[in-house]
Structure 1
Amino acid sequence: MNFIKQAFHVKHEFWRYLVGSLIIAVFAIIGQVPFAVAAIVKYLREGGSITSVEEQDLMTVLEPNLNLFLMLLSFAIGFIGLIIVVKYLHNQTMRSVTTARPKIDWKRILFAFVFWGIVSSGMILIDYFANPEDYVLNFQLNRFLILALIAVLLIPIQTSLEEYIFRGYLMQGFGLLAKNRWFPLIMTSVIFGGLHVFNPEVGKLGYGVMVYYIGTGLFLGIITLMDEGMELALGFHAANNLFGALLVSADWTVLQTHSVLKDISEPGQGFGDIVIPVFIVFPILLFIFAKKYNWTNWNDKLFGNIEEPIVEDIKTID
């Protein structure tokens, strides 16, 4: 069955997707309370004033491992909100938000995770050996082990929540609204990229980096539509964030961790930062995935219409 079209068989009025998105956002905001409280309390204990809290970057107040744990906690709470919305607002299963296949294909998730983990780690190491002056060794065993535990447990939840919202939940919602496949692809990619505008990377690199975020959203949306499921996107996104958090961090990134390496270079916004990932690496990955999974009929899967069933059967998909 068509990944988007199968959502016709559950409660799919568009107002449900608006309300559902709000509920998920509320859960995620509630999940941010422990981080905000811990950061403000520590800041005040160290002599800061309550009037300057808004000007203080609270992301740098806490110890990096505690900071990462509390920051990722909000995604875990948000994921609970997502499950509640899917089950009770739409009478839908998580499987049907994930894939059009009878079962979630864990081999696809694992392949994308391992493949991109190896490639992305290799790219980091190549840059390290090519430009050693841009890095310092940041490895501290005890802190790294704690980081690894937090990252392995929570980063896949963070990335999965983002994928379920944009490549699953809203992809289906916008698809049923527009009755085509290109509109949800564009909308989810723009919204996904737009939400990253608050990342410190944008403040450091400028708004041109939004091309990378929106381009990443397009890439993940394309592999979801072509593969009739978001398994590849789940694996790719988890590997991208997990290996990045473990291997390298920088003072100007959203994830500041006790990683193996620390990037001390002055970031640029040119060819290597935007053009290579979006216009070279992602197309190569699309070619590899297409060959491995025998993707065909690109025009219809990316731009085709979605026809609503004549007789609508509102039941939960098993």
Structure 2
Amino acid sequence: MKPMHDPQDFQPAGTPHQPVGPPQHYLPSPRPTAWIVSAPPGSRYDRLARTPLHAWWRPVLGTVLVAVGFVVIGAAIVIGGSLIGWIAGAKTSGSLLDLTINLLSLAAVIPAVYGVAVWIQRRPPGTLSSVLGRLRWRWMALCTGVAVGAAALGQAALVATYAATGEDLDQLFGWVGWSRFLPTLIVTLLLVPFQAAAEEYIFRGWLIQAFGAFFANPWPGILLGATVFTAMHAYVDWGIVDVFTFAVLMGWLVVRTGGLEAAIALHLVNNVLAFGLSGADGTLEEALKQGSVPWQGLSGTVVQLGVFGIAVVILARRRGVATLSPRPAGFGSPALPHPSP
């Protein structure tokens, strides 16, 4: 005998019977690819350009465009600055004008490097700065303090070496007076931070990551960046060794600490000291020409780079400085159970 209140009696006509059972789960439809795509979580600094959109031509084309931007922007600022200086009659202070043009021509390349990262590699431009996608300002401030101490020890080693080898110490220090030194100091303090950062973004940032998109080992990018960086300077003999050693250590520290902060800090302090001392003793024009470096200068370099490198590695380890790109919140946590039907 059929029950008086069979559930099928209340089913609307034409509606199929819904079977009893657990709910069906369907995969969501794929979302369109975003324009800006980051590298997979847990990526090392040199691998941040190897995103899911990576193709062999992106780092190649990007490197060409960075090089073209470097030349074009630099040439435009040199020509424009020289013309403005000539019109303003600044021929009597040529060394200071040359310093200003030189620093500006390098500093202005930073937006070009950022733009190429966005439009060619389609990745966040902040990944050029660090694995966190930004400059870690507190970490860079700490590295700057370490760089000041390392530079002071390097200068002390240089003076000791000159004294031990019977060299004249007067060639290391001099004073032209505040009227000539103060303009050089102002230009140096205003522009060197951007100039130093620009060189790090190009030679330690872009080149290391461009090669890191192809090689799992960071050393090809480190060595190529150091070679190009050295070739862009006009130093000879021991100066080549000095600059190349600096560049290799900076490249290694960038990968080891997951960002450009330590390299920018030492580069900044090093250039402020170099231009400051040459401005104080009236040898700024010779400093801009670069050229030969006495072998005694390597003693200061060894002490400065050694102290800085060891201190930065120890501090990075103690402070837990990130060396890999972060994982999203909840990444790797156990999946939550489905709700009861």
Aligned counterpart, 1:8: 50
Q: Is the 8 A contact 2:158 2:299 kept in 1?
A: no
Q: In structure 1, which of residues 245, 248, 253 is the aligned counterpart of residue 275 of structure 2?
A: 245
Checking the alignment, whether the CA contact within 8 Å between 1:12 and 1:173 is kept in structure 2 is no
Alignment deviations for residues 247-285 of structure 1 (CA, whole Å, 9 cap, x no partner)? 2353532279xxxxxxxxx96532x2235524x542333
Identity %: 20
- Which stretches of structure 1, 4 residues or more, deviate above 6 A after TM superposition? 40-43
What is the CA distance between 1:221 and its match in structure 2?
Answer: 0.9
RMSD, aligned CA = 3.4
Task: Tell me: CA distance 1:33–1:70, structure 2 relative to 1, closer, same or farther (3 Å).
Answer: same
Give the match for residue 273 of structure 1. Answer: 297
The 1:9–1:42 alpha-carbon spacing in structure 2 relative to 1, beyond 3 Å, is: closer
Aligned to 2:27: none
Question: CA offset at residue 32 of structure 1?
Answer: 2.7
Query: 2:185–2:276: 8 Å Cα contact kept in structure 1?
Result: yes
Partner of 1:283: 306
- Corresponding residue of 2:332: none
Contact preservation (8 Å) 2:143, 2:266:
yes
- Helix, strand or coil: the match of 2:193? helix
Q: CA 1:118 to 1:245, structure 2 compared with 1: closer, same or farther past 3 Å?
A: farther
Paired residues in the alignment total 265
CA distance in 2 between counterparts of 1:248 and 1:126 reads 18
Q: Confirm whether residue 230 of structure 1 aligns to residue 254 of structure 2.
A: no
- Deviation per residue, 1:74-117 (Å, 9 max, x gap): 11332221121122222222321111136432122112222212
Pick from 195, 202, 219: which aligns with 1:182?
219
The equivalences for 1:1-318 within 5 A come to: 1=42, 2-9=44-51, 11-29=53-71, 30-36=73-79, 39=82, 63-101=94-132, 103-121=134-152, 123-124=154-155, 132-135=169-172, 137-196=174-233, 199=234, 201-202=235-236, 206=237, 208-248=238-278, 250=283, 251-254=285-288, 269-270=294-295, 272-274=296-298, 277-278=301-302, 280-294=303-317
Distance 1:90 1:192 in 2: 23
C-alpha displacement of 1:123 = 4.2
User: Counterpart of 1:262?
Assistant: none
How many Å separate the matches in 2 of 1:275 and 1:137?
A: 21
Question: C-alpha distance in 1, partners of 2:74/2:138?
Answer: 31
CA contact (8 A) 1:156 1:238 kept: yes
Contact 1:95-1:103 at 8 Å conserved across structures: yes
In the alignment, is the contact (CA less than 8 A) between 1:31 and 1:74 conserved in 2? yes
Q: Any idea what SS the aligned residue of 1:252 has?
A: helix
Q: Which has the higher helix share?
A: 1
Cα gap change, 1:159 to 1:14, in 2 (>3 Å):
farther
Which one is further off, 28-37 or 227-236? Answer: 28-37
Counterpart-to-counterpart distance in 2, 1:275 and 1:125 = 10
> Structure 1 stretches of 5 or more lacking a match?
47-59, 257-265, 296-300, 302-318
Structure 2 gaps, min length 5: 1-41, 324-341
Between the aligned partners of 1:112 and 1:99, the Cα distance in structure 2 is 14
Decide whether the 8 Å contact of 2:154 with 2:304 is kept in 1: no
Query: Which amino acid is 2:127 matched to?
Result: S
Does the CA-based 8 Å contact 1:32-1:70 persist in structure 2? no
Q: Could you tell me how far 1:223 is from its partner in structure 2?
A: 0.8
In 1, the alpha carbon distance for the partners of 2:209 and 2:92 equals: 39
Report the residue type matching 1:218 in the other structure: V
For residues 38 and 230 of structure 1, the distance between their equivalents in structure 2, rounded to whole angstroms, comes to: 29
TM-score by length of 2: 0.66
Q: Secondary structure at the match of 2:232?
A: helix
Counterpart-to-counterpart distance in 2, 1:65 and 1:10: 47
Shift of 1:211: 1.6
Q: Does the 8 Å CA contact 2:278/2:287 hold for their aligned counterparts? A: no
Partner SS for 1:294: helix
Say if 2:150 and 2:304, in contact at 8 Å, map to a contact too. no
The whole-number CA distance in structure 1 between the counterparts of 2:300 and 2:169 is 21
Provide the secondary structure at the position in 1 that maps to 2:288: coil
Structure 2 Cα separation of the partners of residues 194 and 98 of structure 1 = 24
